[in-house]
Amino acid sequence: MHGKTPFVRLTKRENMPKGKVWMIRFGSFIFALLIGMVIFAVIGAKPLSAYGSIIQGALGRRTGIRQVVRDAIPLLGTALALAPCFKMRYWNIGGEGQITMGAVAATFFAVHFKNMPAVALLLIMAVAGIVLGSVWALIPAIFKSRWGTNETLFTLMMNYIAIGIAAWLVGGPWEGKPGSQIMPVFTSNAILPKVMGVNCGWIVVLVLTVLVFVYMRYTKHGYEVHVLGESENTARYAGMNVPKIIKRTAALSGAICGLVGFMVVSGSDGTLYSDVAGGAGFTAITVCWLAQLNPFAMIVIALMLSVLSKGASTLQSAMGIPASITDILTGIILLSMLGCEFFINYKMHFRKSAEKEAA
């Protein structure tokens, strides 16, 4: 009979000590770096000096650090936006589109209300970004809550539609030099002021981090999201208005994405590009997930990915290694950290002991 018992049996576990959990995660990060070293060795570069030059390129100089922080802003902001949705098990992968629409709305006011005082204009731009971002996120949520339309795929489609709209505006009505397909830079009253060398968006996202943490942990809304994520039936039996919660949470998520869009156009880019989101909507999904939906952990992970991408761009000039190595390294780190969760959540029982008993 014991031949039929599986080689390895799994049980869920929930009580692994915090220290051990983070040891496993750190271990998987090191594991990913080791695979990265193999890749460097295969293409004939010295692995250690390659990593050295990534760190050096990203953190060695003040401008590098500033760029790292600047690039981490949209990643962190979007990851925060997605957290409540993911908690609810609503797969909003439309961050890219919601950022873009937020950016479009903000740009509209930057273009058409050039003569307003800076504070008023920036506020209006931010509000416009928030509103359009949340509308963009609300559309799939309405269909999800009414007819159960698959939100993963719907929000994905909304990304492309948003990017198409932005591309049309940039190359059409808002085009700068005819035929250039790019917009002129905003007037200075539509640019976010800098604090310590980086646009003040970093303060906004840090405040947001705390707000999202409080929202998810200590408010009624956060509780409802939590229950709904665990079981839709439980939420319904408890008398919660499920469609309303879905729509509200999605709209909130889109609102923060829209705000991020505003910060990108007004803070780092100073104008609207059609790829304003630049993949942040997608990368943020992994940031959010790797942080286990913990807002404070997101800060660390967003910074880490940002260091990696900034550092790898210097790798190209320093060692002649294409900058796309970033994506490979990022991907490997993500995949390996996703995989390690298994060893945290499950306990393996091997057959060996059972065989001994039978013998």
Partner 1 sequence: MGALDFIVALIRAAVFNGTPLMYGTSGEILTEKAGNLNLGVEGLMFMGGAFGLLGAFTYGNAMGDSANGVVAVIIALVCAFAAGCFGSLIYAFLTITLRANQNVTGLALTIMGTGVGQFVGEMMRLKVGGNVAISNALKLAFANSPFPQALQNIPVVGPLIFGYNVFVYLGIIMIIVMHHFLAKTRKGLYLRAVGESPSTADSAGINVTRYRYFATVIGGGISAIGGMVYTMTISGTVWNHTGLSGEGWVAVALVIFCLWKPINSLWGSVLFGALLILYIRLPIAFIPTQIYKVVPYIVTALVLIMVSIRQRREDQPPAALGTAFFREDR
CB 150 → partner 1: shortest distance, Å? 6
What one-character-per-residue DSSP string does 51-79 give?
HHHHHHHHHSSHHHHHHHHHHHHHHHHHH
CB 338 → partner 1: shortest distance, Å? 4
CB 147 → partner 1: shortest distance, Å? 4
Q: Which stretch of DSSP H or E encloses residue 198?
A: strand 198-199
Other CB atoms closer than 10 Å to residue 32's CB: what's the count? 21
Q: Which is nearer to partner 1, 260 or 291 (CB)?
A: 291
CB 104 → partner 1: shortest distance, Å? 13
Residues present in the chain in total: 359
CB 117 → partner 1: shortest distance, Å? 33
The tokens describing 111, both together, are 């273009």
Write out the residues near partner 1 by the rule CB under 8 A: 9-12, 43, 91, 93, 143, 147-150, 152-154, 156-158, 160-161, 163-165, 167-168, 171-172, 274, 282-283, 285-286, 289, 320, 322, 324-332, 334-335, 338-339, 341-342, 345-346
Alpha-carbon distance of 216 to 211, in angstroms, equals 9
CB 91 → partner 1: shortest distance, Å? 5
Q: Which is nearer to partner 1, 12 or 18 (CB)?
A: 12
Q: Which is nearer to partner 1, 46 or 114 (CB)?
A: 46
Alpha-carbon distance of 51 to 57, in angstroms, equals 10
What one-character-per-residue DSSP string does 95-138 give?
HHHHHHHHHHHHHHHHHH-TTS-HHHHHHHHHHHHHHHHHHHHH
CB 8 → partner 1: shortest distance, Å? 10
End-to-end CA, the chain: 11
- Inter-residue contact 156 to 129 (CB < 8 Å): no
Q: Which is nearer to partner 1, 167 or 300 (CB)?
A: 167
Q: Which is nearer to partner 1, 44 or 117 (CB)?
A: 44
Q: Which is nearer to partner 1, 213 or 282 (CB)?
A: 282
Alpha-carbon distance of 296 to 299, in angstroms, equals 5
Q: Which is nearer to partner 1, 26 or 193 (CB)?
A: 26
Which of 288, 224, 238 is closest to 82 using CA atoms? Answer: 288
